[in-house]
Amino acid sequence: MIIDRLYESVKNKGSVCVGLDTSPEYIPNCFLKEHDNLEDGLFDFNKRIIDAVSDVCACFKVQIAYYEALGLAGLLAYKRTLKYIKNCGCISIADIKRGDIANTARMYAKAHFTGDFESDFVTLSPYMGFDSMEPYLDYVRDFEKGIFILVRTSNKGAFDIQYMEDKRGIKVYRHVADKVCKIASYYKGKCGYSSIGGVIGCTHVDEDAALRRDFGDMFMLIPGYGAQGGTAGDVAVYLRGGNGGIVNSSRGILLSYKKHEDGEKKFDMYARDEVIEMREAIWNAAGIRNE
């Protein structure tokens, strides 16, 4: 199952997930000017990042909104980026956050698990109900695909709905986590985790240790590190022996070159340095040492 590949990738290369939320304004001007069109500039920037960090990160998360906003040129770069990640033998997460039902959900599943936009994992929102997950499950079972379901996100607005409580004082996101684990139990890999995991933001630390304790079998996609304020100590609580989750960083990695005078010419190498530094910080916080 795809979760076994991801588990091994974390074991061998660390828990960093590199977010390719690539906006033209993130790309050095001198690099963009070397290209005849925006599609090539976006893809070549991503390619340089992937080549520089693929041996020190667990996977790549590609946020589709950054590419949709640029029209056809952006979507072509998105397509080429996903294909390149696959050809490199790496794991991709399409951050699409879809959450529709019935035929619409079937079309979304087909669009992002096959064809031009094929990825290994997708992110989904469960807030229309868990029947919105159903069309994706065949791909998880039969085609080595995976899902990360939004449980508790890292934004301030998480308190608007996710933190609402029932009569017993149990928060909404806890109910979501419980349902995710029940569905996930049918799709477990040899590593003990499931190809259906949860998105758990690291910027709200009220129940961090309790979440990992109570939902120990959940493999977690952990956003919020770096630019959103999360620290290595915040995310380490969600890991078990340094595994059981991946920690996403996007802007912190893509824009790391801006901290250096010669950064524009070596943006890929500074991205690599940032990933290694992040990986080491998480290992240290989790009590793990690179052997």
Q: Residue 202 CA to chain centroid, in angstroms?
A: 13
**290 found inside a domain:** no
Q: Average of pLDDT values for 49-76? A: 98
Catalytic residue (choose from 86, 97, 110, 188): 97
Closest C-alpha to 16, from 246, 284, 252: 246
- Domain boundaries, position 117: 2-285
Question: Hey, CA dihedral for 91, 134, 139, 105, is it positive or negative?
Answer: negative
Share of the chain above pLDDT 70, in %: 97
**What are 238-259's pLDDT values in tens digits?**
999 899 999 999 999 999 999 9
pLDDT band at 205 (very low <50, low <70, confident <90, very high): low
What kind and span of H or E run contains 247?
strand 245-249
Angle at 86 between CA 140 and CA 62, to 5 degrees: 80
Which residues have a Cβ under 8 Å from the Cβ of 93 and sit 6 or more positions away?
17, 59, 60, 61, 62, 119, 120, 121, 122, 123, 148, 221
- 258 Cβ contact partners less than 8 Å away, ≥ 6 residues apart: none
Q: Cα–Cα–Cα angle for 16, 143, 246, nearest 5°?
A: 10
The structural domain count of the chain equals 1
**Statement: the pTM of the whole predicted model exceeds 0.85:** yes
In a domain, 215, yes or no: yes
Whichever domain contains 153, its CATH number is 3.20.20.70
Q: Give catalytic status of residue 97 as yes or no.
A: yes
Residue 165 within a domain: yes
**How many CA atoms does the CB half-sphere of 39 hold within 13 Å?**
9
- Tens-digit pLDDT profile for residues 266-285: 999 999 999 999 999 999 99
Q: Is 72 left (phi over 0), alpha (psi -120 to 50) or beta?
A: alpha
Residue 26 domain flag: yes
Question: Does 291 reside within a domain?
Answer: no
Gyration radius (Cα) of the chain, Å: 18
